[in-house]
Copies of this chain bind each other. A is one copy, B any other.
Amino acid sequence: MVIRENKAAAPEIAEENTRAKILNAAGEVFAEQGFEGATVRAITERAGVNVAAVNYHFRDKAELYTRVVVDACSVRAAFREAIAEGTDSPEERLRSLIHRFLEYLLDPNRPGWKRRLMAREMANPTTALDELVKNNIQPFRDEFLIPTLRQLTGGCFSRRQLGYIGSSIMGQCLYFLQSRPIIERLVPDFKIDKSDITEIADHITRFSLAAIAELTRQARRS
């Protein structure tokens, strides 16, 4: 039985090789050219495999795209665990949420094409965006961010207002993913590495906590 175990594993690895090559190459080409602009021949050429391999390993080009995009947008396991971790104060909690969200959006250790594909998907949605929102963004917002904001503001604001505050925070974070092409044109030599993410997160946290504190003060005064 142990020998059979080994045998079953071997073809899996071989299959993974061509298939993995296609997935990676496809990710890059789709990120650069979008779905329509990317050709199966460009992808297979970059992968170093034969053009028929796409239809052997995937039903068609569209299925390849969906798989690649879903993978790019999928949550890193660490993300959900990290945002679920308890932290001491609501301030600290918001800080943590913002840091984690930015890490999810901008992780420099992930291939750049995943980040770019995610940005593309947000602008030109396919069904993958449904998954991205349902699995990652909506839980982040509804289960963690808004409740934290409710704590921070001590019940001073309506659900609608908390929603707007939430969008202000998410908008600041998403700016660095979605407006990257704009930023690069505004700020020469713009790049994001680990320390930049921390700096950005620190700024957004400071700015947002300051806003919340002041808004809460004003609300309590009236």
Contacts and interface: CB of A to CB of B under 8 A. Distances in A.
Interface of A: 33-37, 119-120, 122-125, 129-130, 133-134, 137-138, 141, 161, 163-165, 167-168, 170-176, 178-179, 181-183, 185-187, 200, 203-204, 206-208, 210-215, 218
B36 A185 contact: no
A204 B208 CA distance: 11
Given A138-B186, A174-B175, A186-B141, A168 B207 contact: yes
Contacts of A212: 210
A130 B185 contact: yes
Contacts of A123: 119-120, 122-124, 178, 181
B203 A207 contact: no
23 contacts: A33-B36, A34-B124, A35-B37, A122-B179, A122-B182, A123-B124, A124-B124, A133-B186, A134-B185, A137-B182, A163-B187, A164-B200, A164-B207, A168-B175, A168-B207, A170-B175, A171-B176, A171-B179, A207-B211, A208-B211, A210-B214, A211-B214, A213-B214
A208 B204 CA distance: 11
Contacts of A174: 171, 175, 178-179
Given A123-B122, A130-B185, A167 B175 contact: yes
B167 A172 contact: yes
Contacts of A203: 161, 164-165, 168
A42 to B, nearest CB: 12
A178 B178 contact: yes
B210 A206 contact: no
A34 B37 CA distance: 9
A76 to B, nearest CB: 19
